[in-house]
Amino acid sequence: MTISPTRATDYPMARRDDLVEDHHGTAVADPYRWLEDPDDPQTQQWVAAQHRLSREYLDRSPWKRIIRERLRAVWSLRTCHTALVQGGRYFFFHNDGEQEQDTLQVMDSPDAESRVLLDPAEFCGPDNGHDGAVATISYATASPDGRLLAYSMSYGGSDWQEWRIREVSTGRDLPDQLLWSKFSSAGWNADGTGFYYTRYDAPPPEAHDWDPDRDPRVVFHRVGTSQDDDELIYQDPDNPEQGITVGTTEDGAYLLLFIWRGTDTTNLLRVKDLRTPGAAIAELLPSAAAAYSYIAGHGDTLWLQTDLDAPRGRIITVDPRRPDEFTQLVAEADDAIQGAGVISAKLYVAYLTDAACRVQIFHRDDGQPLGELPLPERGTLEGLRSAPTGTEAFFSFTSFTRPATVYRLDASDDSVTVFFAPTYTFDPDSFLAEQIWYDSADGTRVPMWVCRHRDVPLDGSAPTFLAAYGGFGFAITPTFTPGPIAWMQLGGVYALANVRGGGEFGEEWHRAGSGRNKIKAVEDLIAAAEWLSSHGYTSPQRLGLGGISNGGTLVAAAAVRRPDVCGCVIPVNGVLDLLRFHQFTIGWSWVFEYGSAEDPEDFAALYELSPLHRLRSHQTYPATLICTATRDDRVVPAHSYKFAATLQHTQSGTAPVLLRVDLTSGHARDARATEGLEDLSDRWTFAAHTLGMRVPPEA
């Protein structure tokens, strides 16, 4: 069965306005500005028509059923996320393979049976106060004695959080309900009578000029009281664009405020001694020219990771009573530090060696090297969090072909035992995951992971999917997801390029692909595509590009810039209008990553890079599936709407240009297994269909 390519005349009509603006002497047309208004009836009608078109195309493909069945088989494995010990209880997220979302489980002792403490399903339904929107757990932390759980729920994929408190022994919620929180963690006080969190002002009755993402404040909520009675701890109205991450040390001695501005990787650190009534908030290491992240705290010692004069990171200790002094514990090394944990008398430091994890052990007080923690293979480690006075910790380890196994670490002898092993619905040893290095346009060496089934021949015919992220200093390392496994089972190749802009090699690698250098990340991605085609893996017609959020920006920019290198492109929730992103919701905070069109030099770089503004009439572009969600309050769907309308207008070839709009989720997509399966099925269906993957005989 085949499907005829979508013709330009089949696309829903989108009105083109004569709107042109002057940007530093450059005339920039914006004919689809009206699509920025989600409440405009014309926008809603156009989106509905696009939704019908994409559904007709995707649901008619013979690949839809095949991909869905493969994904369902992979998805049905039993999974667990890293456990944490608090007050003698063990908390961890678990899914039996059939549940719509992970549940938070608890064990009252190491030998006890686990029980469900928190299930997002109980918050879903028409009576949840959010029009039946899907609820997800966004944050959860137990009190020091393990008696209470502070947790926050988000609805419909929104970044907004609602905090509640649950009794661990009974599973009963207390009356407390805290609103208007976003991007917030929580830190309990020492006796578990309350916790600190970040919130914003509630919207005024007339909220036309209300900006919900500015002027956060840290408050203390005492268990059993009204949110109106929360105590204001910190607020800086002179710097309304700052964000605040809040936490407390494991023994409750100090409140920690990590203060950041936008997506800038640097931050300030302020502390408050909670043992001294009336103690003031003091600046600790006040320079904002570096990043500081918390590892652990005990008494008057804080262990911190920083890139101060060390772009690949180092470990320091600080005594808050002497805020201008610090002691270097572990010096910068050739590899970037990903994270660390203090357990008993040891410091475990996770490094990234060529975008894969390894763990070195040091003495927590003098930094003396004590050896290395053996890991199963090249992959990704998460966890290693514990109180410095504890003797055990848990971590998970995963790779491209193996779901996360959770291990228990005994710090007394560094022995590692399996706490949870996943069930397999496939043979992980039937796949290969190799790392290669290639040259980018300017000669920079860039690593790329290339994964395939052992039986796939390298004759240039394999449909290949190339993914990338390359932004905000985030390191993308080998992790397990169902999509690539299903793709490889069907004969495809999956590749992941660690392009500049990420954090795989520290802050220097990030800076090399951000701001006015963001084009370098796109060039890295294009070079990866060319390498795969020239080295016997695939051909341009059989190569697809895909990325999410910033990754969506990169793949769209690459396909628009060099449409000859790929046969399809799937940008998901991408920032596609780089001249106006700062006008919407939290977009202003990304100026530190992209630059701002208000600045003439930044504008020149952004105009050259922006996927929306690089589109040209009478150009043949690859098959494109643009994915967004109506509830995305981070990267608003207007980016995808305007890009889709423009690309449909300019496309001169026969390759389809489709807009897939998720009507029930947000930036993080739908957390439910059923809806998540549908989302992934559509994307991999589009890739399989447009890249010419052969339907297996048994189908």
pLDDT score at 134 = 80
Question: Are both 451 and 561 inside the same structural domain?
Answer: yes
Average pLDDT, integer, range 534-552: 97
CATH classification at residue 241: 2.130.10.120
- Asked if 379 contacts 352 with a C-beta cutoff of 8 angstroms, the reply is no
Whether 3 has a pLDDT exceeding 70, the answer reads no
Q: Write out the two tokens for 695.
A: 């339907």
Q: Residue 663: give the domain boundaries.
A: 8-74+426-690
CA–CA separation, 219 and 234 (whole Å): 7
Task: Answer whether residue 639 is part of any domain.
Answer: yes
534 Cβ contact partners less than 8 Å away, ≥ 6 residues apart: none
Indicate if the alpha-carbon torsion angle 519, 524, 525, 529 is positive or negative: positive
Q: Which of 248, 268, 295 is the last residue of a domain?
A: 248
CA–CA separation, 483 and 136 (whole Å): 22
How many other C-beta atoms lie within 10 A of the C-beta of residue 131? 9
Task: Answer whether residue 281 is part of any domain.
Answer: no
Task: Answer whether residue 503 is part of any domain.
Answer: yes
Percent of the chain beyond pLDDT 70? Answer: 96
> Would you state the torsion angle of the CA atoms of residues 447, 451, 457, 461, taken in this order, to the nearest 10 degrees?
-80
Task: Answer whether residue 256 is part of any domain.
Answer: no
User: 481, exposed or middle or buried, with CB in 10 Å at 0-12, 13-18, 19+?
Assistant: middle
Q: Is 72 helix (H, G, I), strand (E, B) or coil?
A: helix
Task: Give the Å distances, CA to CA, from 655 to 63, 546, 624.
Answer: 17, 17, 8
Question: Are both 29 and 85 inside the same structural domain?
Answer: no
Question: Are both 599 and 583 inside the same structural domain?
Answer: yes
- Asked if 54 contacts 48 with a C-beta cutoff of 8 angstroms, the reply is no
pTM of the model: 0.91
Task: Give the Å distances, CA to CA, from 86 to 145, 160, 418.
Answer: 7, 26, 19
Question: Are both 649 and 521 inside the same structural domain?
Answer: yes
Query: Using one digit for the tens of pLDDT, what is the confidence trace for 149-182?
Result: 999 999 887 889 999 999 999 999 999 999 999 8
Query: Using one digit for the tens of pLDDT, what is the confidence trace for 473-490?
Result: 999 999 999 999 999 999
Average pLDDT, integer, range 521-545: 97
Phi, then psi, of 248 in degrees rounded to 5:
-130, 155
DSSP string for residues in 113-130: PPEEEE-GGGG-STTSSS
Measuring CA to CA, which residue among 502, 499, 503, 546 is closest to residue 525? 499
pLDDT score at 699 = 57
- Asked if 513 contacts 470 with a C-beta cutoff of 8 angstroms, the reply is yes
Q: Look at the chain and report how many structural domains it folds into.
A: 3
Helices and strands (H and E) in the chain: how many:
11, 39
Task: Give the Å distances, CA to CA, from 219 to 148, 158, 211, 664.
Answer: 19, 22, 20, 32
pLDDT score at 540 = 97
Q: What's the farthest any 2 CA atoms get from each other in the chain?
A: 74
* Cα 358–chain centre separation: 22
Question: Are both 533 and 598 inside the same structural domain?
Answer: yes
The backbone region for 618, taken as left when phi is positive above 0, alpha when psi lies in -120 to 50, beta otherwise, is: left
Question: Are both 684 and 541 inside the same structural domain?
Answer: yes
Whether 328 has a pLDDT exceeding 70, the answer reads yes
Stated as kind and residue range, the H or E segment containing 196 is: strand 194-199
CA–CA separation, 545 and 660 (whole Å): 16
pLDDT score at 265 = 78
Q: Write out the two tokens for 142.
A: 């137990």
Task: Give the Å distances, CA to CA, from 301 to 321, 328, 358, 364, 663.
Answer: 9, 13, 26, 11, 49
Task: Answer whether residue 260 is part of any domain.
Answer: no
Q: Is 560 helix (H, G, I), strand (E, B) or coil?
A: helix
Task: Answer whether residue 268 is part of any domain.
Answer: no
CA–CA separation, 518 and 500 (whole Å): 8
Task: Answer whether residue 279 is part of any domain.
Answer: no
470 Cβ contact partners less than 8 Å away, ≥ 6 residues apart: 497, 498, 499, 500, 501, 502, 513, 521, 524, 525, 550, 551, 554
- Asked if 215 contacts 237 with a C-beta cutoff of 8 angstroms, the reply is yes
Question: Are both 45 and 113 inside the same structural domain?
Answer: no
- Asked if 554 contacts 224 with a C-beta cutoff of 8 angstroms, the reply is no
- Asked if 342 contacts 317 with a C-beta cutoff of 8 angstroms, the reply is no
Q: Write out the two tokens for 13.
A: 């009509």
Q: Which of 406, 423, 440 is the last residue of a domain?
A: 423
Query: Using one digit for the tens of pLDDT, what is the confidence trace for 486-528?
Result: 999 999 999 999 999 999 999 999 999 999 999 999 999 999 9
Question: Are both 127 and 37 inside the same structural domain?
Answer: no
Q: Which of 423, 448, 475 is the last residue of a domain?
A: 423
Alpha helix ranges (H) inside 429-575: 482-489, 507-511, 518-534, 550-561
Q: Write out the two tokens for 338.
A: 């990903």
Task: Answer whether residue 374 is part of any domain.
Answer: yes
- Asked if 84 contacts 385 with a C-beta cutoff of 8 angstroms, the reply is yes
Residue with tokens 């790392």: 435
CA–CA separation, 360 and 350 (whole Å): 7
Average pLDDT, the chain: 92
Average pLDDT, integer, range 358-381: 95
pLDDT score at 7 = 52
Active-site amino acid positions: 549, 667
Question: Are both 450 and 587 inside the same structural domain?
Answer: yes
Name the residue type at position 516: R
CA–CA separation, 423 and 403 (whole Å): 9
- Asked if 71 contacts 680 with a C-beta cutoff of 8 angstroms, the reply is yes
* Residue 2 pLDDT level (bands cut at 50, 70, 90): very low
CATH classification at residue 60: 3.40.50.1820
Question: Are both 541 and 635 inside the same structural domain?
Answer: yes
Stated as kind and residue range, the H or E segment containing 684 is: helix 673-690
Least confident of 245-254, 440-449, 528-537, 656-665: 656-665
Question: Are both 389 and 430 inside the same structural domain?
Answer: no
Question: Are both 520 and 609 inside the same structural domain?
Answer: yes
* Residue 631 pLDDT level (bands cut at 50, 70, 90): confident
Alpha helix ranges (H) inside 7-151: 41-60, 63-75
How many other C-beta atoms lie within 10 A of the C-beta of residue 363? 13
CA–CA separation, 90 and 521 (whole Å): 41
pLDDT score at 17 = 96
**DSSP assigned state of 204:** P
